[in-house]
Amino acid sequence: GEFLHLPGETFTKFTKIRDEIEAETNRGAGSGKSISNVPIRLKIVSPHVLTMTLVDLPGITRVPVGNQPKDIEQRIRSMIMEYIKHQSCVILAVSPANVDLANSDALTLAKEVDPDGSRTIGVLTKLDIMDRGTNAVAALENKVVPLMLGYIGVVNRCQADINAGRDIRSAREAERKFFVQSEEYSSVAQVCGTINLAQRLNEILVRHIHKILPRLKRQIEFAREENFHKLQSLGDWSQSDSKSAQGALLLKMLTEYSQFFANHLDGQDGNLPANEVAGGARIRHIFQNIFVKELQGVDPSVTLTDKEIQTAIVNCSGIRGSLLMPEIPFQLLVRRLIENLLEPCLQCARFVCEEMIHIARRCEPERMGMLPNLQNNLRSAVQSYIEDCLTPTEEMVSNLVNCELAHINTSHPDFIGGSQAIATVLDHKKGLVEQSKKKFEDESQSLRQSLSTPFKMNPHEQSESLNSEQKKRKQDGEGTARDRQSGWIASIFGGTNKGNTESIYLQEPPKVLRVSETKNEQEELEVAVTRLLVSSYFGIVSKTLQDMVPKVVVHFMVNAVKSGLQKRLVQLLYKEDLFASLTKEHSDVATKREKCQKTLKFLHVAAHTLDSIPKVLDQSSSSGARSSSARRSSRRVSPKRNRSEYAGSENSHPNIKSPPEAPASERRKSSSGPLGRGLASVIGR
């Protein structure tokens, strides 16, 4: 035997193995009666045992003893459930034959995790010390508490046998004689005994392995593929000690990165996310959904008020005034609007620059993070190159806007023109006049209808109304005559102390002069025509910039970076004096790679073992016992618990590493091959 905590040390006597189990238990759980969930892993190599992993679990303790905690029952229960809950585990529910099976803790716990009993075997012990006149034949015949897999009775060594050093082989022979020679148990002797238990367990494990084998193969294949890709991402720097190897590795990574970046922009990267817009599609979003949409939302009819247009017309007329429609106000207002387009055009280029830097970060391969010096230098070089391409892009965008400002092309085929603008305004005004005239006629017709309705007054009211009207006309006539006479006389003779003439003073012009709130017909026409001309020409310029600015950005920045990135990176980073520092990997990468390689090796062996299992299982029914290893849960060992005769194979529990392989000389003592990694748990002993 060999313990995992003592690698390389071989135990050839079971007394030594038992002593080491007790010593390790005391080291892990203390010298009292306490328990520990840290397992003691033991591998046994022998031609007389099965190939399996056996977990020896403690029985339930209800009353704390010694230094055991108050919740000892719950702790032991949790420890047991942690192992028997796995579907790959075959449960050996051990119960003493001299206790009622209805009260068996082992059967109760097994029922919780295996309600249909497809992986639970009942094991009855202490058949040799039952009260006289009683036996467990009914239980062994599966008539008391039925189990799908039934019960098997065993007779283990007593404490006196252990103290006397009785070996297992003689104990097995004594067990066989007990069942064969016993009057009560001779009828069930063929299903009793440790040898029969081993054979029965072997049959169950074979069926169980056949059942779970496809799932295990899928799990191992998935784990192999996952670790293989992980190892690829970690890279292989084992040959990177020489300058030539470092240079080749660096050049390969720079080339692959540049190509990956270009594919990402073109949408040809197969690893683009499916739940968000990424890559070059984000740049297109900036063009169409941000830049173009913003320019389309600029409306000169809303931006320019009538006062601003009229003020421009008045100012451009200067001291002369104007007789016809002036052109200078139109050009002045159009240029002002075009100048406002410069900033959003430049902002579009800056947005694309920032997005390309963001895309460049996302294009970094995972293994780039394992070379921190290369990653930092690469990021700096890429960002610098993209920002360098932004400068000519902004210059060209500014030139586009300046070209539009340099020449106002009133001969553009899409421009409405002065005569057409005037005609449009007049037609619109004529329509308003017609609409107003119709409204006036409707109101007049309504008024005439109301006046045609007769209005009657009584004679007294008519008389009073006539008299009051005559009096009013008389008073108004007299007052008017006096006023005319007084005003004429005053104009000839003047006032009392004033001269014959009165001084006239001009009102000073205001410091800030604004156009009048009211406009005459000519001014209204000028404002309307100018607004229409400005809107027409601004729409032409806006569409031109919506089309040209994205083209400029793509040509001077996007395509320039795509085509020149690899060359720039090689110029900046592919230098012999930088090879060593740039290819220096992170400190923990080597550890991860080594661990991944070992995992792949183990998975390869596991896959090979699973492939050979069907052939081995077919041979197992006619074979003898197989080699085995054991693992016991670390706990306080008592004489009662030391009566165990079981051994298991190396651990296959998913959370516990396998113990070391047995020496070749010992492995040759085993049978032709492993049965597979079954798991049997012994509980309730």
Dist CA 634 CA 38 (whole Å): 5
* pLDDT for 370: 81
Neighbours of 413 (CB within 10 A): 6
Q: What is the mean pLDDT of the chain?
A: 77
Dist CA 644 CA 635 (whole Å): 14
Q: How confident is the model at residue 675 (pLDDT cuts 50, 70, 90)?
A: very low
Using alpha carbons, list the distances in angstroms from residue 311 to 316, 334, 461, 529, 551: 8, 14, 60, 14, 38
Is-contact 117 123, C-beta < 8 A? no
Is-contact 85 67, C-beta < 8 A? no
* pLDDT for 70: 86
Is-contact 557 349, C-beta < 8 A? yes
Dist CA 124 CA 94 (whole Å): 6
H helix or E strand, kind and range, residue 179 = helix 168-181
Dist CA 65 CA 59 (whole Å): 14
* 3-state helix vs strand vs coil in the chain, percent to 5: 60, 5, 35
If phi > 0 it is left, if psi is from -120 to 50 it is alpha, else beta; for residue 670 that is beta
* pLDDT for 481: 47
Q: What is the mean pLDDT of residues 254-262?
A: 93
pLDDT exceeds cutoff 70 at 479 = no
pLDDT exceeds cutoff 60 at 243 = yes
Q: How confident is the model at residue 634 (pLDDT cuts 50, 70, 90)?
A: very low
pLDDT exceeds cutoff 70 at 683 = no
Q: Which CATH class is domain 2-220+614-683?
A: alpha beta
User: Where in the chain are the domains?
Assistant: 2-220+614-683, 247-419+519-582
Distance of CA 250 to the CA centre of its chain: 31
If phi > 0 it is left, if psi is from -120 to 50 it is alpha, else beta; for residue 69 that is beta
Dist CA 1 CA 309 (whole Å): 103
pLDDT (tens digit per residue) in 584-621: 887 788 788 888 889 999 999 988 888 877 766 666 54
At 188, list the tokens.
């069930």
Tell me which long-range contacts 443-452 makes (C-beta under 8 A, separation of at least 24). Answer: none
Is-contact 45 621, C-beta < 8 A? no
pLDDT exceeds cutoff 60 at 2 = yes
β-strand pairing of 151-153 with 120-125: parallel
Look at residue 60 and give its three-state secondary structure.
coil
Dist CA 216 CA 222 (whole Å): 10
Q: What is the mean pLDDT of residues 94-113?
A: 92
Q: How confident is the model at residue 147 (pLDDT cuts 50, 70, 90)?
A: very high
* pLDDT for 422: 57
Residue length of the chain: 685
| 2 φ, ψ (degrees, to nearest 5) | -145, 130
Q: Which residue has the higher pLDDT, 467 or 105?
A: 105
H helix or E strand, kind and range, residue 22 = helix 14-29
pLDDT (tens digit per residue) in 289-305: 999 999 998 887 677 77
* pLDDT for 452: 54
**Least confident segment among 343-352, 568-577, 652-661:** 652-661
If phi > 0 it is left, if psi is from -120 to 50 it is alpha, else beta; for residue 3 that is beta
Dist CA 225 CA 414 (whole Å): 63
pLDDT exceeds cutoff 60 at 682 = no
pLDDT (tens digit per residue) in 538-555: 999 999 999 999 999 999
pLDDT (tens digit per residue) in 23-33: 888 888 777 67
Look at the block and give the residue holding tokens 């990165």.
257
Q: Please choose, from the candidates 671, 650, 497, 579, the residue with its C-alpha nearest in 3D space to the C-alpha of residue 41.
A: 650
Dist CA 205 CA 198 (whole Å): 10
Please check whether the two domains, 2-220+614-683 and 247-419+519-582, share a CATH topology.
no
Is-contact 681 55, C-beta < 8 A? yes
* pLDDT for 474: 52
At 469, list the tokens.
């009207």
Choose from 17-31, 163-177, 543-557, 644-658 the range with maximum mean pLDDT: 543-557
Q: How confident is the model at residue 326 (pLDDT cuts 50, 70, 90)?
A: low
Q: How confident is the model at residue 238 (pLDDT cuts 50, 70, 90)?
A: low
* pLDDT for 475: 54
**Least confident segment among 106-110, 350-354, 512-516:** 512-516
At 486, list the tokens.
């007084």
DSSP category for residue 99: S
* pLDDT for 51: 74
Q: Which residue has the higher pLDDT, 403 or 131?
A: 403
Q: Half-sphere exposure of 679 toward its Cβ, with a 13 Å CA cutoff? A: 16
Question: What is the residue type of 458?
Answer: N
Q: How confident is the model at residue 377 (pLDDT cuts 50, 70, 90)?
A: very high
H helix or E strand, kind and range, residue 262 = helix 243-266
Neighbours of 429 (CB within 10 A): 14
Q: How far apart are the first and last CA of the chain?
A: 23
Dist CA 377 CA 381 (whole Å): 6
Dist CA 526 CA 541 (whole Å): 23
* pLDDT for 224: 92
629 - beta bridge partners? 53
pLDDT exceeds cutoff 80 at 383 = yes
Q: Which residue has the higher pLDDT, 385 or 663?
A: 385
Dist CA 171 CA 157 (whole Å): 6
Q: Please choose, from the candidates 532, 514, 525, the residue with its C-alpha nearest in 3D space to the C-alpha of residue 322.
A: 525
H helix or E strand, kind and range, residue 477 = helix 459-493
| 125 φ, ψ (degrees, to nearest 5) | -115, 175
* pLDDT for 543: 94
pLDDT (tens digit per residue) in 409-466: 888 888 776 555 555 655 655 554 455 555 545 555 565 555 455 545 555 555 555 4
pLDDT exceeds cutoff 70 at 46 = yes
* pLDDT for 434: 53
* pLDDT for 400: 96
DSSP category for residue 42: E
Question: What is the residue type of 459?
Answer: P
Is-contact 651 41, C-beta < 8 A? yes
Dist CA 334 CA 329 (whole Å): 9
Neighbours of 42 (CB within 10 A): 27
Using a pLDDT cut of 70, give the percent of the chain over it: 70
**Which stretches of 340-415 are DSSP H helices?**
342-362, 372-406
* pLDDT for 455: 46
Look at residue 93 and give its three-state secondary structure.
strand
pLDDT exceeds cutoff 70 at 164 = yes
Q: Which CATH superfamily is domain 247-419+519-582 in?
A: Dynamin, middle domain (1.20.120.1240)
Dist CA 557 CA 390 (whole Å): 6
* pLDDT for 489: 41
Q: Which string of DSSP letters, residue by residue, matches 580-621?
A: HHHTPPPTTHHHHHHHHHHHHHHHHHHHHHHHHHHHHHHHHT
Query: Sheet of 2-3: strands edge to edge?
Result: 2-3, 35-43, 629-635, 53-56, 679-683, 89-96, 120-125, 151-153
Dist CA 125 CA 96 (whole Å): 5
Dist CA 291 CA 289 (whole Å): 6
HEC-encoded secondary structure of 129-144:
HCCCCCCCHHHHCCCC
Distance of CA 123 to the CA centre of its chain: 51
Is-contact 53 649, C-beta < 8 A? yes
Distance of CA 402 to the CA centre of its chain: 46
pLDDT (tens digit per residue) in 193-220: 998 898 888 888 778 777 888 888 899 9
Q: How confident is the model at residue 323 (pLDDT cuts 50, 70, 90)?
A: low
Look at the block and give the residue holding tokens 């060999």.
2
pLDDT exceeds cutoff 80 at 662 = no
Q: How confident is the model at residue 324 (pLDDT cuts 50, 70, 90)?
A: low
